[in-house]
Chains A and B, each alone.
Chain A
Amino acid sequence: MLDLIWLIPFFPMVGAIVNGLFGRRLPKGVVHTVACGSIFLSFLVSAGAFFALKALPPAERVFEQVLFEWIAFGSTTINLGYLLDPLSCVMILVVTGVGFLIHVYSVGYMSHDPGYARYFTYLNLFCFAMLTLVLGNNFLVMFVGWEGVGLCSYLLIGFWFEDAAKAAAGMKAFIVNRIGDFGFLIGMFLIFWVFGTLDFRTVMAQAPGALVVGGGIVTAITLFLFVGATGKSAQIPLYVWLPDAMAGPNPVSALIHAATMVTAGVYMIGRCNVLFSMAPVSMTVVATIGALTALFAGTIAITQNDIKKVLAYSTVSQLGYMFTAMGVGAYVAGIFHLMTHAFFKACLFLGSGSVIHGMHEEQDMRKMGGLRKHMPHTYWTFLIATIAIAGIPPLAGFFSKDEILWKAWSGGYKFQWFLGFAAAGITAFYMFRLVFMTFFGKERFDPEEVHVHESPRSMTVPLWVLAGLSVVGGWVGIPAALGGANNFHHWLAPVLDPAAVTETTHAAAPDLDGLLGVRTAYASEGAGHAEAPEGHGAAVGAEGGAEHHDPTEYVLMFLSVAYALLGILVAYFAYLLKPDLPGKVAAKAKGLYELLYNKYFVDEIYQAVFVEGTLALATFFWAFWDVVVIDGIVNGTGYVVRSLGGGLRLLQTGKVQAYAMTVLLGAVVLVAYYAVVAAF
């Protein structure tokens, strides 16, 4: 089964090729059967791979498949290969599973669009790129996927490119991402410079020997990689593209801009956890940026009226949580939240799509209300996902978010914990604000004009599946403190938390293979170093020590649930009981409201500083440097070259005698030269 993992990216690629080349001539039924079918086959293979991997003992759950030698320069060879381990396994399941549901949903959502085949081509291409990204066995393959998803994101944001604003949103996403990619590239170059290879397994195995913990090089590498992550995963300061990216079709927002692509940065840090663990400074930066983003984006979401914009800022905020987890060394918690977030956020986006579809392309929540009666399926699924994201037990979001906050607290990151905690209640507030404004209260639209209708089966079924996953998805990671087995943690431990594995496997299987031996060595070393200055190891230690639980964990758990409920209550009070209250508050705190409503004016600041600044510089270079200096040189050279060419052309007389003469002359000169060489 494991030998078949190359099929996982292969199916969507074939789907993209078929629909890309012939889609326009094929009937719609064939187009979506190919698209959905290919991703479903990928899902089946992924599931098979998961069970095959699960059958192995934890320490041996690594499978590398080299497809072919890709680039060979001198002693360096870079292979195109796939790496399947528990981490990438989680990712492929999420990408193919959620991806399949969203493909199915798209069948209904895009049914009237003239660009039907083009849409599914891009969607399949995206899945291919995303699967390449998560399965790549070295940085370069990952980078290929990384750029590929960026391209598909651009294509899909600007899918309706006739609308200039939407095309511009696509470009914004692309350009901002390029800034991040530049950081990723530099990080990659540094890794290549230090290790002479880009292979994940080699780099991670050699890192403890080749780099100094806390040293300048590892810090630089990780910080540059993190710059890449901030671009792709929309963190401060490069988050600005994601809200604009909502210009794309709704399923795209669900798949690319909520569930999968934007989590690539989180995955990348998880993949490089060995490097990050060796750079405490970078870890603090990651955790702080993540927590700040979580709070910052959450506050913006409070004031937005566009249903998709709220969800977009919510995504940025939730991604912030994931980075907080990565930064405090709770890699498993971060990936856990990545997974649960994929479920409930995809559900929310698809639900909002259903609402927009039913409301005839209306996105402003102020013109909605009372939709509960008209769209029961959408309403219930949306509500479930909202409870999940708000962090109410026992739904998925509670377990993952709480684990992050607990790890931040117990790891000594009190400041980051505070930011994340503050954002948690805000999340509950703005999400329920959204639910109340959309589904409850009076109908603020004209029923004569807008005939609200429930969406077709192909859309509601994926919604229900995702809602179900939003409920149960967290149960795989119920913490030990609540009597759970935390299977998710055990599953990922070989990759993300090797210390925990060695403790359990030492008892079970004393003879470890060589690979694990290396891992054991660097894991304990890493933990030891981390403990000294910052006290990172505390969380890991507590985890390994099992049985004993800090009572603080329960206190924090209670606090965050209570706080989330408070957020819901406030939303209930403000948007259902006293609907005129928000207006009054906004009027009172006009300055603050304006600041939040205009998203802290970040777009305007970027526009003034970077865009205008670049343009001014560009104008200077264009008007003076380019037009006067460069063009002068180029035109001058061109003129000279063309006259030369024109002159040389005249030598071509077409006369054989003349040609023979040149050959003879050449021969004479050559032989004469050699005669001179021989003589001296």
Chain B
Amino acid sequence: MNFQMADLQLLAPHIVVLATALLVLLAEAFCKGERKGYLAYLGIAGIVVAALLTPRLFGPQRLGFSGMLAGDGFAAFFYFILYAVGILTLLVSQNYLRDERFEHGEYYALVLLALVGMMLMAGATHLMVVFLALETMSIAIYALAGYFRTERSVEASLKYFILGGFASGFLLYGIALIYGACGTTQIYDVMAYFKALPALTSSPMALAGIGLLTVGFGFKVAAVPFHAWTPDVYQGAPTSVTAFMATGVKAAAFSAFLRVFVVAFQGTHVEWSGVLWVLALLTMTLGNLTAIAQTDVKRMLAYSSIAHAGYLLVGLVVGTPEASSAMMVYLLAYAFMNIGAFACVIMVGRYGQENTSLDAYAGIGFRFPALGLAMAVFMFSMAGIPPTAGFIGKFLIFKAAVHEGYYWLTILGVLNSAASVYYYLRVIITMYFKPSPDEPAVDGLRVGPSAALATVLAGVGVLYLGIIPGGIIKLAEQAVRFMG
């Protein structure tokens, strides 16, 4: 394996985040006091430094470490989504952890370690690196999911761990089959191999490999029928971790999903797009239908995240650069609106009482106007109503689908989106139009400066993307240029 110093440039952001994670652990060991909130800011500082090292990755594609890691706009754009997710998660967590009496340095370190894994997934151009990165991310997330050591939290963690291991097996088996068929696991080599040997598109080994990779990625993005873990894990995990999983893991998994399928398996688009078509439809529909029946906001958001995975899969089915850039914008939008919504959910709860049932939200829109406004903005965005980021994301994805002639999928997607308005608006209606009970469950907000900042940042992000999306859309379009 060749190693050049120049390759380190591609890895610099990862190294910085990793170093920050270690630094956080070290700093905790030396800190005396009970208050460990500054560790979150240390983490944020690390992410900011990494972010400063990232812009130079935009530009012509470079591969490093013998073609295992890419430095390109695609990776860089995803890094930025992940930075946003990381920073918002750390901000949201700080206050929440203290209130739940669980403020420890390892939490922040685990978030940063998971972030490193996610970033590697976005940059990976080699199936083995994809796998290793996915495991790096997942192991940190398993630990985070069980972080509260309550019965539910541990159960969530264990479920996710067992099923995740199970799914990883499929992924690894798929990679092995692809290696068997192509003799390589480097993504661009695989692409070239499929191009050179058209007969491969009907090779059972290659196709079975693609099928198993679909299972592996489908599990991580929570696509039906590999989604079953999602509601239980999302509901059981600490809310800040749920936000992190729903946005970060999804973005990272989709980045690898995109690069592997749209680049490496370009030649077999006809074969796999049909399968994903069905998965996309199932995922949207099942996510939305089940979300409608929920009476718990956190669980509703879990199902909603399944539905969003469905919309994103539409972009993958289309498979054009236009669709890929649309997915990237969507994932950014989703990061803002989803973490924002979970931040509101956290604020409504209090120590020992999560208050995630919808009834707890009755009348809080008027009692806590700022929270009500923020939650309303996030719900509108999730429902895809302009002028919010959610609308732009959906619009771009469906536009790309229509351009490629996927009319039915678009129609079904829009219908799904319309149905989803029901359960998002129900939150707003409960907040504003249901009178508060005489003894309201929520008598104060769990809010600190960092959580408030996170909510404001997320809200600004949602509205910025919704009102002035031009620059970001253009950036995303440039980022996928190499996919051609």
Contacts and interface: CB of A to CB of B under 8 A. Distances in A.
Main secondary structure of the interface of B (DSSP, over half): helix
Interface in A590-643: 638, 641-642
Contacts of B286: 648
A390 to B, nearest CB: 48
Contacts, number: 104
A71 B294 CA distance: 37
B474 interface: yes
Contacts of B292: 641-642, 645
A137 to B, nearest CB: 16
Interface stretch (B99-107, B129-137, B206-214, B436-444): B206-214
A646 B295 CA distance: 11
A646 B215 CA distance: 26
A656 B159 contact: yes
Interface in A643-680: 644-646, 648-649, 651-652, 654, 656, 658-660, 662-663, 665-667, 670-671, 673-675, 677-679
Contact of B470 (A69, A638, A666): A69
Interface stretch (B70-78, B226-234, B313-321, B448-456): B226-234
Contact of B275 (A649, A673, A679): A673
A644 B215 contact: no
B271 interface: yes
A659 B156 CA distance: 13
A654 B275 contact: no
B162 A656 contact: yes
B203 interface: yes
Contacts of A193: none
A206 interface: no
Nearest to A672: B211
B311 interface: no
B318 to A, nearest CB: 16
A663 B225 CA distance: 6
A307 to B, nearest CB: 40
A164 interface: no
Contact of B207 (A642, A646, A677): A677
B289 A68 contact: no
Given A69-B471, A663-B167, A674 B211 contact: yes
A639 B454 CA distance: 38
A677 B214 CA distance: 16
B204 interface: yes
Interface residues on A, range: 35 or more
Contact of B211 (A68, A69, A638, A670): A670
A381 B219 CA distance: 79
Contact of A652 (B225, B232, B419): B232
Contacts of B218: 666
A72 interface: yes
A658 B469 CA distance: 43
Contact of A666 (B163, B207, B215): B215
Contacts of A111: none
B474 A72 contact: yes
B134 to A, nearest CB: 16
A70 interface: yes
A68 B293 contact: no
A658 B294 CA distance: 21
B473 interface: yes
Contact of B170 (A649, A654, A667, A674): A667
Nearest to B287: A648
Contacts of A505: none
B383 to A, nearest CB: 16
A524 interface: no
A675 B207 contact: yes
Contacts of A69: 470-471, 474
A673 B293 contact: no
Contact of B166 (A663, A673, A678): A663
A164 B207 CA distance: 71
Contact of B293 (A70, A649, A662, A677): A649
B211 A671 contact: yes
Contacts of B66: none
Interface string B192-210: 0000000000111001101
A652 B212 contact: no
Contacts of A644: 289
B163 A659 contact: yes
B454 to A, nearest CB: 20
B159 to A, nearest CB: 5
Given A644-B289, A656-B159, A658-B228, A670 B275 contact: yes
A427 B212 CA distance: 85
Main secondary structure of the interface of A (DSSP, over half): helix
B290 interface: yes
A77 B471 CA distance: 11
A477 B29 CA distance: 81
Contacts of B232: 652, 654
B204 A670 contact: no
A95 B208 CA distance: 71
Contacts of B226: 662-663, 666
Interface string B130-161: 00000000000000000000000000001100
B363 to A, nearest CB: 22
Nearest to A71: B470
A666 B225 contact: yes
Contacts of B211: 667, 670-671, 673-674
A665 B215 CA distance: 10
A644 B289 CA distance: 7
B468 A68 contact: yes
B225 A675 contact: no
Given A70-B468, A70-B470, A72-B473, A674 B290 contact: no
A638 B219 CA distance: 30
B362 to A, nearest CB: 21
A77 B473 CA distance: 12
Contacts of A666: 215, 218, 225-226
A658 B215 CA distance: 16
Contacts of A68: 468, 470-471
Interface in B276-302: 286, 289-294
A594 to B, nearest CB: 48
A475 B159 CA distance: 85
A175 B289 CA distance: 38
Interface in A445-472: none
B289 A674 contact: no
* Most chain B CB within a 10 A radius of its CB, from A69, A638, A677: A677
Given A652-B232, A670-B211, A641 B289 contact: yes
A72 B477 CA distance: 11
A364 to B, nearest CB: 41
A675 B471 contact: no
A296 B471 CA distance: 51
* Most chain A CB within a 10 A radius of its CB, from B203, B275, B291, B293: B293
A642 B208 CA distance: 37
24 contacts: A68-B468, A68-B471, A70-B470, A72-B474, A641-B292, A649-B290, A652-B232, A659-B159, A660-B162, A660-B166, A663-B163, A663-B215, A666-B215, A667-B212, A667-B215, A670-B214, A670-B215, A671-B208, A674-B271, A677-B207, A678-B203, A678-B204, A678-B208, A679-B204
Interface of B: 158-159, 162-163, 166-167, 170, 202-204, 207-208, 210-212, 214-215, 218-219, 225-226, 228-229, 231-232, 271, 275, 286, 289-294, 419, 422, 468-471, 473-474
Given A663-B226, A667-B215, 13 more contacts: A68-B471, A642-B292, A648-B293, A659-B229, A660-B166, A663-B215, A663-B228, A670-B211, A670-B215, A670-B275, A671-B208, A674-B204, A677-B207
Give 6 nearest A-B pairs by CB, closest first.
A645-B293, A659-B228, A674-B207, A72-B470, A666-B225, A670-B211
